[in-house]
Amino acid sequence: MTSGTAADPESACPIAPVVDLVFSRWTTPILWALNEFGRQRFVELSRRITTITPKVLTQRLRQLERDGLVVRTYHAEVPPRVEYEISELGRSLAPLFAHLAEWSAANLGKVERARQEHDGKERIGVRRNPH
């Protein structure tokens, strides 16, 4: 790469596509729930992730199925039943989630303290306009 030439984001950060895939808004809670609690029906997932709308849950499940991270099983019964479970590919993310959970437990308090310290400094530095 020559000076002044911008690299494409994937070359600059090879994990960017993985972050986009796994850490989009609703992907992580869905994969976490399926990994922790096993096979679930749509209504069970929506009860576990209470802040997601049914429309968005449907969209995310379809995308996760397309990406190979979730398996959808249709049971031709009366009434029909559909179940979702994490795939082997999705399950391979479990160690990553475990490390992130450990990091979270060890460090989120530090992040919050840093935020409070930063915000306190900003308030002190702000001067009111006399006009």
Which domain CATH number covers 32?
A: 1.10.10.10
Helices 94-125 and 27-37: angle between axes, nearest 10 degrees: 140
> Domains in the chain: how many in total?
1
Could you list the residue range(s) of the whole structural domain that residue 81 is in? Answer: 9-92
| pLDDT, position 126 | 57
Position 127 in a domain? no
Q: Tokens 């020559």 belong to which residue?
A: 2
Give the closest residue to 31 by CA, choosing from 79, 81, 89, 78.
Answer: 89
| pLDDT, position 41 | 96
| pLDDT, position 120 | 87
Position 103 in a domain? no
H or E element in which residue 73 lies: strand 70-75
| Cis previous bond, 79, omega within 30 | yes
Position 78 in a domain? yes
Position 85 in a domain? yes
Position 98 in a domain? no
Position 111 in a domain? no
Q: Please state, in angstroms and rounded to a whole number, the distance separating the CA atoms of residues 97 and 34.
A: 12
Averaged pLDDT of the chain: 87
